[in-house]
Amino acid sequence: MESRMLILDGSRVAAEIKERLEGRVEKLATHGIVPCLATILVGDDPASATYVRMKGNACKRLGIRSVRVDLPSGTTTEELIAVIQALNEDPDVHGILLQHPVSRHIDERAAFDAISIDKDVDGVTTQGFAQNAFGFAAFPSCTPAAIMAILDYYKLPVAGKHAVVIGRSPILGKPVSAMLLNQDATVTTCHSKTVGLEHHVRSADIVVAAVGRSKFVQGDWIKPGAVILDAGYNPGNVGDVDYEACLPYASAMTPVPAGVGPVTIAMLLKHTVDAAERRR
């Protein structure tokens, strides 16, 4: 039964996106422009530091300049916003990424919204969220954009399908719900207060798991033939979906790792190149 299921290989999708970016980066270089992504890390959280390093390495491999700004954990909201404003005003910086979560004492929303919409390549500002809801965001949130890119790459139909999104964060669950709706899916957005969650999931043609809980989605929740996109990443390299339990039911599913994650980084690189081209 496993052999009949389509594994949605995110590494393959990411490689194609990056391959298309190479020529665009080279063309920008002929105009003296090197796409530049600035990443801001507040504090010394090891996981966040690893993510920032991975993004920096991905930039380097593609010829994108990466500027890393490390700030102490005691940085105030005002100090962080001042750093962001300086990057907004730097013409050589095309994209700004504030690694989240930040320290609890920082007003994360105020910090996100300080990022210029023209440099919001991670799709975290309130303005960017609104543009995404209306279907014309230049830089939608990277993980939702990755999910849509995977569906598109594998030519999996969205229009007319019932999609159930488990999670309602402003940078994942809510924006991917809007993106699916904009492509004519009927969308149910579930969360921690949803009553009868399993019932909703059992009716889904497309399941997006973005709840942040290891192996949360069980196999007997899945409608036979459903497509599963697992946006979770938890300790032990496991997602929000019990992969083995869902194998007998799903027609297509992203693995963890090598599913949504690599495409998320590829979309960040794409948005940075897009921003550099728009600036030119």
In the structure encoding, which two tokens stand for residue 173, read together? 């669950």
Q: How far apart are CA 46 and CA 14, in angstroms?
A: 25
- Whether residue 99 lies in the annotated active site: yes
Closest CA to 217 of 226, 206, 207: 207
* Inter-residue contact 185 to 210 (CB < 8 Å): no
**How would you label 7-38 residue by residue, b for 16+ Cβ within 10 Å and e otherwise?**
bbbbeebbeebbeebeebbeebeeeebebbbb
Find the catalytic residue in 55, 161, 174, 223.
Answer: 55
Q: Please report where in the chains the tokens 């980084």 appear, as a residue.
A: 265
Q: What is the DSSP letter of 164?
A: E
Q: How far apart are CA 30 and CA 173, in angstroms?
A: 39
- Whether residue 18 lies in the annotated active site: no
Find the catalytic residue in 113, 122, 205, 242.
Answer: 122
Find the catalytic residue in 99, 174, 230, 274.
Answer: 99
Beta strands 186-190 and 162-166, pairing class: parallel
Q: How far apart are CA 69 and CA 111, in angstroms?
A: 15
Q: How far apart are CA 247 and CA 258, in angstroms?
A: 17
Contacts of 260 (CB under 8 A, 6+ apart): 10, 143, 146, 147, 150, 229, 230, 231, 254
Helices (H), 167-230: 173-182, 197-202
Give me the active site residues, please: 55, 99, 122
